[in-house]
Homo-oligomer: A and B are copies of this chain.
Amino acid sequence: MSARTLKLGAVLLGVGGPGQHNTWLSPEIPGNASVDVRWYIARARQAEAAKFDHVFIVDSQFITPDSPNHYLSRLEPLTLLSAIAVHTSHIGLVGTITTSYNEPFNVARRLASLDHISGGRAGWNVVTSGDAGTAGNYSRDEHYDYETRYGRAFEHVQVAQGLWDSYEADAFPRDKERGVFFDRSRQHALHHRSEYFSVVGPLNLERTPQGQPVIFQAGDSEEGRDLGASIADAIFTHAGTLEQARAFRSELRARAAARGRNPEHLLVVPGIFPIIADSDEEARAKEDAILGAKSFARALAELGRPFGWHDFSQYDLDAPFPEVGDVGARSFRTHAEKIKKLARERNLTLRQVVEHQLQEQRSPFVGSPRTVADEIERWFDGGGFDGINISVTVPSEFARFIDQVLPILRERGVVRSEYESTTLRGNLGLPVPENRYTAARRQPPAATACRHHRGRRHR
């Protein structure tokens, strides 16, 4: 086992960071980058040359005319990742798919296909769709409530993982001399039947190079943490302060351990937005310029998202933060609750809340290359994270991180210099799960039954 090293992900064209809504103005970015497969392939190759573990594609299935620019029109993640797969060789490919509006059989099949196509580099960022409006695109009058979303997500992943075990590793001898294509004793139907799904199986796809694609999961709520601790290999989260990050990671690891899992196999990998310049002063000035370019009006509109895109422009800015009650209860609930709590505890006006949100977008990773490297190392050593997902939009900014920050971290042994494996699982240091039927044949029945039951319900 090699020493613990920082995992590196690149969130391609992710928005949400400071100034991300304005990045399209950069002369380095084609205006239609979000639908330009060549742009994505070029960025993935840039990340691969720097030995990143994975690229990461975020997603949603609901837009309004006010959605962020690059969300108004963008490629579906797995269709995109498959194209990237055949123009790269080592970098992992993590795509966001919602469990709320997809069938587990289809999801399992597409991810397993990507894993075969990429030679073992597929990852799934499991989400439940925070935007309540998503329901309207899927023949539902109402978004699933929070509990249902997380209950479905847990069962959905379980079904997918079950389907990925449909064939044991030796199911296809394909022996042309003996004329034996297939060993039918190594094909297994799942016969899953539970609260949200019933899926007979088997999946029509053999065991993939990774055995099971890597599971990422995002979600800060109680339900989200429970889900992550139960089924995730890696957690995609936000980075607030080091103290918050450390507490979050400790708690996640404790929850995983409580489920009988090895906490080393649950990586916490927040999204970060480094702002790098030659000196700390220049970097801070750069951040100020980016934040300053963001209009108050846009921040006010974005405040609505966790409240189900509630329109806050209807209220008096200088009156106390409005009592909006239960609006958006089916959306990004934890985020909305945090904002309400903040306003209540500090007695803030609506304007003050918006200004606070703008400040919140300040990155903890701002400064000269050495300052940023120091800070990343401090968080990594301090138990704040196991890796980082860097938001990638402007290629030269990404190159600055690669060319100026990474060498410092490499020299210190924080980041490895070469790929250690051809699979994402291998590079992330995650074990390959054994096929459950192979395990059952190998193990005494009692131990098998126990293994089968573990984590059956996530609480």
Contacts and interface: CB of A to CB of B under 8 A. Distances in A.
Nearest to A167: B73
B74 A205 contact: yes
Contact of A137 (B31, B79, B85, B201): B201
B117 A37 contact: yes
Given A25-B179, A204-B63, A76 B37 contact: no
Contacts of A72: 172, 181-182, 187, 204, 206
Interface in A195-245: 196-202, 204-206
B139 A197 contact: yes
A193 to B, nearest CB: 9
A71 interface: yes
A120 to B, nearest CB: 12
B35 A69 contact: no
Contacts of A388: none
Contacts of A71: 204
Interface residues of A, number: 65
Contacts of A184: 65
A109 interface: yes
Nearest to A197: B139
Interface string A60-87: 1111010101011111101110110111
Nearest to A72: B182
Nearest to A29: B176
Contacts of A199: 136-139
B113 A102 contact: no
Contacts of A110: 76, 78-79
Given A35-B205, A35-B206, A105-B61, A114 B73 contact: no
Nearest to A206: B73
B136 A200 contact: yes
Contacts of A312: none
A32 interface: yes
Nearest to A30: B174
Contacts of A138: 103, 105, 199
A116 interface: yes
Interface in A127-158: 133, 136-139, 141
A371 B106 CA distance: 44
A101 interface: yes
Interface of A: 24-25, 27, 31-32, 35, 37, 41, 60-63, 65, 67, 69, 71-76, 78-80, 82-83, 85-87, 101-103, 105-106, 109-110, 113-114, 116-117, 133, 136-139, 141, 167, 172, 174, 176, 179, 181-182, 184, 187, 196-202, 204-206
27 contacts: A24-B174, A24-B181, A27-B176, A31-B174, A32-B172, A32-B174, A35-B206, A37-B116, A41-B86, A60-B204, A63-B204, A65-B182, A67-B204, A72-B172, A72-B187, A72-B204, A74-B204, A75-B117, A76-B106, A76-B110, A79-B114, A79-B117, A80-B82, A133-B200, A137-B200, A137-B201, A138-B199
Given A79-B82, A136-B198, 8 more contacts: A24-B181, A61-B109, A69-B182, A71-B204, A72-B172, A80-B117, A82-B82, A83-B117
Task: Give the top 6 A-B pairs by smallest Cβ distance, nearest first.
Answer: A31-B174, A136-B200, A79-B113, A82-B82, A73-B206, A65-B184
